[in-house]
Amino acid sequence: MPTSPVEIPLPYSPEIEEAIASLKPILQGSYPISPRALSLLLLQGDEEALDQVREQEGQDAFERAQAVRTRLQDRLSEPVEWHIAQSRHQWGQALVEGALERNAPKKSRGLGEWLGMLCMNPITGFPILALVLYFGLYQFVGIFGAGTVVGLIEENLFGEIINPAVTAFVERVIPWQPIQQLLVGEYGVWTLGVTYAVALILPIVTFFFLVFAVLEDSGYLPRLAMLIDRAFKALGLNGRAVIPIVLGFGCDTMATVVTRVLETKRERILTTFLLSLTIPCSAQLGVVLALLSGHPKGLLIWTGVMIGVFLIAGWLAARVLPGAPAPFYMEIPPMRFPNISNVIVKTLARLQWYFLEVFPLFLIASLMVWIGQLTGLFDLALRALQPVTQWLALPSEAAVAFLFGFFRRDYGAAGLYQLDEQGLLSGNQLLVVAVVLTLFVPCVAQFLVTLKERGWRMALGMLVFTLAFALLVGVFLSWGLQALGIAV
């Protein structure tokens, strides 16, 4: 085997080398990369390189460089880029030739390989997806995380021990009532903001991020992306979008940020839209599970409505927005057992992000609620929402749930639990509320992130549409249940 060093840089075809040589006198400026590399970029029409050259060498030299490029392209049968890519690819092969050898038969990866194949086969893949959703999302995050653990932390730790102590302390130290209201009132910074973020959202999100990290680390997500690609094409997306969509079940705000992994602007807009309309985040899932806990049929209908809305809204949005889905390609890494420390590191990193980015927004939300109440703006808004509750055949108290849902979804729901306990809400009404609350306006944090990522026009447009659409679906559902005589 030859071990002598290869003369690097390696030579391209004579035509390309000639073009590089004729560019040499033109490129006089100082560049961050070698003249040779810059020349190659120029010959391939790289825009950033072209801009740099125009800036440093002036228009005249720039045009001469362009002429070299045109001349080269005329001499070649294929795009310059293709020739260069081909040469490099062949060098890669040649350099490894003889250095990479098999010294033992390929060991079967056993269980992992087998499982990986099952995940990609549509016959077994979809049942596996259902199992993952049922155990990972419903049982672990929903029932255990949002139910048991939140119950312990929120009701016992915060509700009975911490919050009464903080309230008593604030009331003793600050005699001024509006400030007391701001800090420990019904919607106070502490009672609403901190309690909500720490006692409710934190455990739910932690459990979700754990599940997500396991799925990620095992190599399941690329397989899911591959499995779902065709279905997503109908929604104007491709398989790549499963990553933000699945993450949305944990936190729609984070998922909206992660839409950056998508390749085209169109896909980013469509995914942001679906996230804000249909994908319930873990906090919402918690609320819905709690509301419908006594009505399994209601939960089933809720799931059906959500899937239906996801498909219909996605399909329609893809028709409205011009363009075609980007083609799908993704490497499929080997399926492997997740590395525990990796999973923990990832979960912690996401939680850190969550706290730095989302937590402050909850505090702002409580401040806004406080101002809204103090100035009477909320009463006005509630009055405006009254007719809406009538269309939905709901008691007028439900308006509070919708208004607060924007700031803190579970708070709105808390009022509903009370109504439910007093026997003022039927199963059907609970179902309608659950559907509207899920579709309804994203939370403040998600709205602000959408604003940042997509611009105010897009964010406001989505806000208005989501509001109208949520109510429309609610009204239809309410009528539909009545007309069909369904009681859940």
Partner 1 sequence: MGIKRWFQRKGKQQAEGIETATIVILGSPNVGKSVLFHKLTGRYVTVSNYPGTTVEITRGAMRYRGRSYKVIDSPGMYSFNPITDEERISRRLLLQQKPELALHVVDARNVDRMLPLTLQLIEAGLPVILVLNMIDELERDGLRLEINALRQRLNVPIVATACHNGRGIQELKEQIHAYLAR
Partner 2 sequence: MVKVPPWLGEVAQTENARCKDMMSRILTSLATRETARIVDIQRDAEGHWRKLMALGIAPGRIITVIQRFPTFVVEVGHTHAAIDRQMAGLILVE
Q: Which DSSP letter does residue 260 get?
A: G
Determine, following the binding rule CB under 8 A, whether residue 238 of this chain makes contact with partner 2: yes
Q: Is the Cβ of residue 58 or residue 79 nearer to partner 2 in the bound state? A: 79
User: Considering only residues 51, 55, 63, 78, which one is a binding residue for partner 2 as defined by CB under 8 A?
Assistant: 78
> In whole angstroms, what is the distance from residue 7 CA to residue 268 CA?
44
Q: How far is the CB of 139 from partner 1 (least distance, A)?
A: 23
Identify residues 242-261 at the interface with partner 1 (CB under 8 A): 243, 257-258, 260-261
Q: Is the Cβ of residue 86 or residue 303 nearer to partner 2 in the bound state? A: 86
Q: What are phi and psi of 229, to 5 degrees?
A: -50, -45
What angle is formed at CA 366 by the lines to CA 360 and CA 372, rounded to 5 degrees?
135
Q: What are phi and psi of 219, to 5 degrees?
A: 90, 15
Nearest Cα residue to 191 out of 398, 363, 405, 357 = 363
Q: Which two tokens stand for residue 71?
A: 């001349």
From the list 162-170, 186-194, 329-337, 410-418, the region that binds partner 1 by CB under 8 A is 329-337
Task: Count residues binding partner 1 (CB under 8 A).
Answer: 67
From the list 81-89, 180-188, 241-249, 457-465, the region that binds partner 2 by CB under 8 A is 81-89
Determine, following the binding rule CB under 8 A, whether residue 7 of this chain makes contact with partner 2: no
Taking residues 271 to 290 in sequence order and writing x for each that binds partner 2 by CB under 8 A, - otherwise, the string is --------------------
What angle is formed at CA 256 by the lines to CA 251 and CA 262, rounded to 5 degrees?
130
Q: Is the Cβ of residue 37 or residue 84 nearer to partner 2 in the bound state? A: 84
Determine, following the binding rule CB under 8 A, whether residue 410 of this chain makes contact with partner 2: no
Q: Which two tokens stand for residue 24?
A: 């040499």
Entry field: residues in the chain = 488
> In whole angstroms, what is the distance from residue 466 CA to residue 446 CA?
13
Determine, following the binding rule CB under 8 A, whether residue 99 of this chain makes contact with partner 1: yes
Nearest Cα residue to 39 out of 61, 63, 58, 65 = 65
Q: How far is the CB of 312 from partner 1 (least distance, A)?
A: 28
From the list 138-146, 191-199, 221-229, 275-283, the region that binds partner 2 by CB under 8 A is 221-229
User: Considering only residues 225, 299, 436, 488, which one is a binding residue for partner 2 as defined by CB under 8 A?
Assistant: 225
Nearest Cα residue to 365 out of 400, 408, 410, 422 = 408
What burial class does residue 1 get, using C-beta atoms within 10 Å of its C-beta: 0-12 exposed, 13-18 middle, 19+ buried?
exposed
Q: Is the Cβ of residue 44 or residue 181 nearer to partner 1 in the bound state? A: 44
User: Considering only residues 11, 58, 79, 92, which one is a binding residue for partner 1 as defined by CB under 8 A?
Assistant: 92
Q: How far is the CB of 235 from partner 1 (least distance, A)?
A: 20
User: Considering only residues 67, 111, 324, 345, which one is a binding residue for partner 1 as defined by CB under 8 A?
Assistant: 345
Determine, following the binding rule CB under 8 A, whether residue 37 of this chain makes contact with partner 1: yes
> In whole angstroms, what is the distance from residue 292 CA to residue 420 CA?
10
Determine, following the binding rule CB under 8 A, whether residue 357 of this chain makes contact with partner 2: no
Q: What is the DSSP string of 361-392?
A: HHHHHHHHHHHHHHHTHHHHHHHHHHHHHHHT
Q: Which DSSP letter does residue 241 get?
A: G
Max CA distance (Å), the chain: 87
> In whole angstroms, what is the distance from residue 487 CA to residue 436 CA?
18
Binding interface with partner 1 (CB under 8 A): 1-6, 8-10, 32-34, 36-37, 40-41, 44, 46, 48, 81, 85, 88-89, 91-93, 95-96, 98-107, 109, 216-219, 221-222, 225, 240, 243, 257-258, 260-261, 263, 330-331, 333-334, 336, 339, 342, 345-346, 348-350, 352-353
Binding interface with partner 2 (CB under 8 A): 78-79, 81-82, 85-86, 89-90, 93, 120-122, 222, 225-231, 233, 238-239, 327-334
